[in-house]
A and B are shown apart, each in its own frame.
Chain A
Amino acid sequence: MSEVLTGVQKAEAEAAKIIEKAQAQAEQIQRDAERKARETEHQVRSEFTEEIDALRKDVEKKAQAQSKTILANADKDAASFGEQGTKNMKKTVDFIVSAVYSYGSATK
């Protein structure tokens, strides 16, 4: 009978160890989860930052490409106005002189 009791006691001790180990493991899982939760905001912020940096780079790249086009077009426009101005300079000077002379017109 005492052998039976000893065997049960051993089994109970073993069971207690199993439970204790499981609880320790559960506590570790809980601690890991809490640590992970604490790090989550930082991690999410990093992910957002990465995403936003990529977006900014993309936006900047597109804007710079468009800026180049805008400035190249402005160069062309400026050159076109320069050519037109040179071509029409005499007509314009005559217009200005004529406008000044109009201040001295007899009908003023």
Chain B
Amino acid sequence: MSTSSSAEQIQNTIVADAKAEAKQIIENAEVDARQLTETALENARVTLAGWAERRKQMAQGTGARIMGKARNDAHMQVMNAKARMIDEAFAQARKLFEKERGTAQYKAFLKNLIINAGLQIGGGDLVILARKEDQPVISKITGLETAISKGCGQSTKVTVGKQAIEMIGGILVQNKEGNITVDYRVETLLAQVEVKYRNEIAKTLFPKEPKTEKPKE
């Protein structure tokens, strides 16, 4: 081997080694870079997982809120429709009472209200307060004092108060001292009926529950 060819071989080896080393340097850098980005990606996913989960729950919550509002609005719509009909029934009942105020049934009703109120108070001197139109009717009712006295064992005197009361019908009964009042005005009785017979009234008005299909969750 000549000196020149040997030198050339050495030179080639030096360059080839350098190229191999350079290749290795770049490969190592690429491996490190990949590892760095993969680790960063993994860390970011772990770091943001809780945040993302909360946002997902909020997104689901948005749906629940929309549905909740719709259910509430729907419930109110149905309740209002029912309430309108119940209000209408009571309005018509009030009108019916206004029409019936002159009947024998109404007169008997007043008599029994007075006796019941008198028994509740326990007899004694009782003052009946009523509509102006009902005052002469009540004055003509007989047997009140006897019925109350007999019922409660207390001597009873019934007088019709001069003060006329604005009301649909019925009576207010007070003891002489005015510290006990039994309120049997028709409007008060209607309010009591509304509370006491709420379910019965609803069942009479709305015997059938509508069978509309409920949306799937």
Contact = CB atoms under 8 A, between A and B. Distances in A.
Nearest to A62: B63
Nearest to B217: A66
A82 B29 CA distance: 79
Contacts, number: 260
Given A97-B96, A104-B109, A85 B189 contact: no
What size tier do the contact residues of chain A reach? 35 or more
A7 B11 contact: yes
A56 B70 contact: no
A44 B45 contact: yes
B213 interface: yes
A48 to B, nearest CB: 4
B84 to A, nearest CB: 8
Interface in B103-151: 105, 108-113, 115-116
B89 interface: yes
| Chain A facing B: main interface SS | helix
Interface in A51-80: 51-52, 55-56, 59-60, 62-64, 66-71, 73-80
Interface of B: 3-4, 6-8, 10-12, 14-15, 17-19, 21-23, 25-26, 28-30, 32-34, 36-37, 39-41, 43-45, 47-48, 51-52, 55-56, 58-60, 62-64, 66-67, 69-71, 73-75, 77-78, 80-82, 84-86, 88-90, 92-93, 96-97, 100, 105, 108-113, 115-116, 184, 186, 189-190, 192-193, 196-197, 200-201, 204-208, 210, 212-216
